[in-house]
Homo-oligomer: A and B are copies of this chain.
Amino acid sequence: MIALIMAGGSGTRFWPVSTAGKPKQFLPLAGGRSLLAETVARIDGLTPPERTLIVTGEAFVQRTRREPPSIPPENVIGEPLGRNTAPCVAVGTAVATARWGGDEVMLVLPADHFIGDRRRFHEIVRAGEAYCREEADLVTLGIRPVAPETGYGYVEIGEERRRAGDVAVHAVRRFVEKPDRATAERYVAGGRHLWNSGIFLWRLCVIREAIEKHVPGAAALLTAIEGVGTGGLSAVLAEAYPRLPALSIDYAVMEKAENIATVPADFPWSDVGSWNALGDLLEEDEEGNCVAGAHVGVDTTGCIISSPSRLVATIGLRNLVLVATQRAVLVCPRGRAQEVRAVVERLREEGREEYL
């Protein structure tokens, strides 16, 4: 198997810890290691480092090469600009096809997700891999929803296609964009909907064909990449990227293709989409707060506190996010953590680059 780690995130949602110079995948949000290092460790045993590709922004190639030192430097590929995940998958597909041929199965996974049970993750991926070897389908891992999340997309499952032990592969009936609360509650109760994880499995020739068919301009890119060696790659990308559309692989391919399947997965998972998600990742202390750093709380509970280098003292607080860095302090209700983007936007508009 081959792995493609998508590490193109810009990370405004974890401001002020994540910044333009240090996007989310480099943050140790779930413990001592960065999310990227966790991701590389997660696939250990599924693919060898020589067959793991990482696609990231050009500015982060050097840092990415240092971060998971097991990956060969030439396997870290820099994008000249961010164009969402469809071009990223196209690049990974073409590079992998050129190196290892189109019959290999490729696991595609974001660099900045959390998965709580690595053994179970391997079992699910192995089942999906086996399915992909036999079927010309595009497979997405679908997470069994544990709450009516409105921040995730969902996939509706169809009939069972294959089963190995307690892992099944299902057809996908359709993709659903982020639903409203009532709809999400129905989905969770109904048992026919899964969170769309953004983790994929497919044979290289299968995704290659789907990209050619569905992503405008990608066919030429695929051919161009396959025609040059590692040395010529960056010139090809510099030439092609500005003309590619910024589309997600979900929107550009998965929602349009017919040959979609899903492996329902029951491991703990989070896309770590905002500070609020740390409530799922970090263990609560005895007062019911998730704390990374030093905290003294009087009558404080349900808070998420991240402050590596200074003490956070709180009195009479409930369900807030509190983040302190050298440059800035962020305080907001957990339910509004997504709005950090608005703060970052405002700072950008006001030209206060020193905080970004």
Contacts and interface: CB of A to CB of B under 8 A. Distances in A.
Interface in A332-354: 332-333, 336, 339-340, 342-343, 346-347, 350, 352
A312 interface: yes
Contact of A328 (B310, B347, B350): B310
Contacts of A312: 328-329, 331
Interface residues of A, number: 35
B296 A315 contact: no
Given A315-B333, A316-B332, 17 more contacts: A16-B313, A298-B343, A307-B329, A310-B328, A311-B327, A311-B328, A312-B328, A313-B330, A313-B331, A314-B330, A314-B331, A315-B331, A315-B340, A320-B331, A322-B331, A324-B324, A331-B331
B328 A315 contact: no
A345 to B, nearest CB: 10
B342 A328 contact: no
B298 A316 contact: no
A274 B355 CA distance: 30
A236 interface: no
Interface of A: 15-16, 296, 298, 307, 310-317, 320, 322, 324-333, 336, 339-340, 342-343, 346-347, 350, 352, 355
A309 B62 CA distance: 32
Copies in the complex: 2
26 contacts: A15-B313, A296-B343, A296-B346, A296-B347, A296-B350, A298-B339, A298-B342, A298-B346, A307-B329, A311-B328, A312-B328, A312-B329, A312-B331, A313-B329, A313-B330, A313-B331, A314-B332, A315-B331, A315-B332, A315-B343, A316-B339, A317-B332, A317-B333, A320-B331, A329-B329, A331-B331
A102 to B, nearest CB: 48
Contacts of A310: 325-329
A50 B349 CA distance: 54
Given A343-B296, A343-B298, A315 B329 contact: no
A320 B311 CA distance: 18
Contacts of A16: 311, 313
Contacts of A350: 296
Contacts of A322: 329, 331
Contacts of A330: 313-315
A324 B307 CA distance: 12
